[in-house]
Amino acid sequence: MSDDWNPRTRAVHGGTRRSQYGEVSEAIFLTQGFVYDSAEAAEARFLEAGPDEFIYARYGNPTVRMFEERIAMLEGAEDAFATASGMAAVSGALTSMLRAGDRVVSARALFGSCLYVLEDILARYGVEIVFVDGTDLAAWEAAITPGTRAVFFESISNPTLEVIDIKSVSTLAHAVGATVLVDNVFATPVFSDAIAQGADVVIYSTTKHVDGQGRALGGVIMGTREFIRKTVEPYMKHTGGSMSPFTAWVMLKGLETMELRVRAQADSALKLANAVSGHAALSRVIYPGHPGHAQHALVQAQMGGKGGTVLSMDLRGGQAAAFRFLNALKIAIISNNLGDAKSILTHPATTTHQRLPQDQKDALGITPGLVRMSVGIEDSDDLIADVLQALAKAE
Chain contacts with ligand PLP (rule: CB under 6 A): 85-87, 90, 111, 113-114, 154, 158, 183, 185, 205, 207-208, 217, 219
Looking at the Cβ atoms of 67 and 323, the one nearer to ligand PLP is 67
Residue closest to ligand PLP (Cβ): 86
Least separation in angstroms between CB 352 and ligand PLP: 9
Looking at the Cβ atoms of 268 and 374, the one nearer to ligand PLP is 374
Cross-strand bridge partners of residue 221: 81, 203
Looking at the Cβ atoms of 87 and 199, the one nearer to ligand PLP is 87
Least separation in angstroms between CB 114 and ligand PLP: 6
Looking at the Cβ atoms of 87 and 390, the one nearer to ligand PLP is 87
Give the span between the Cα atoms of 353 and 374, in whole angstroms.
16
Least separation in angstroms between CB 69 and ligand PLP: 21
Cis amide bond preceding 159, omega within 30: yes
Least separation in angstroms between CB 90 and ligand PLP: 6
Looking at the Cβ atoms of 103 and 209, the one nearer to ligand PLP is 209
Looking at the Cβ atoms of 203 and 391, the one nearer to ligand PLP is 203
DSSP-assigned letter for residue 348: G
DSSP-assigned letter for residue 350: G
Query: In degrees rounded to 5, what are phi and psi of residue 222?
Result: -125, 150
Burial 42-61 (b: 16+ CB within 10 A, else e): eeeeeeeeeeeebbebbbbb
Looking at the Cβ atoms of 29 and 111, the one nearer to ligand PLP is 111
- Alpha carbon separation from 384 to 272, 288, 313 (Å, rounded): 6, 18, 14
CA angle 337, 271, 284 (to 5 degrees): 75
Hey, is 292 helix, strand or coil?
A: coil
Least separation in angstroms between CB 338 and ligand PLP: 6
Residue/partner pairs of 296-305 with CB below 8 Å, 24 or more apart: 298/163, 298/165, 299/163, 301/167, 302/155, 302/163, 302/165, 302/166, 302/167, 302/187, 302/193, 302/197, 303/163, 303/187, 303/191, 303/192, 303/193, 304/191, 304/193
Least separation in angstroms between CB 83 and ligand PLP: 9
Give CA 336 to chain center in angstroms. 14
Least separation in angstroms between CB 59 and ligand PLP: 21
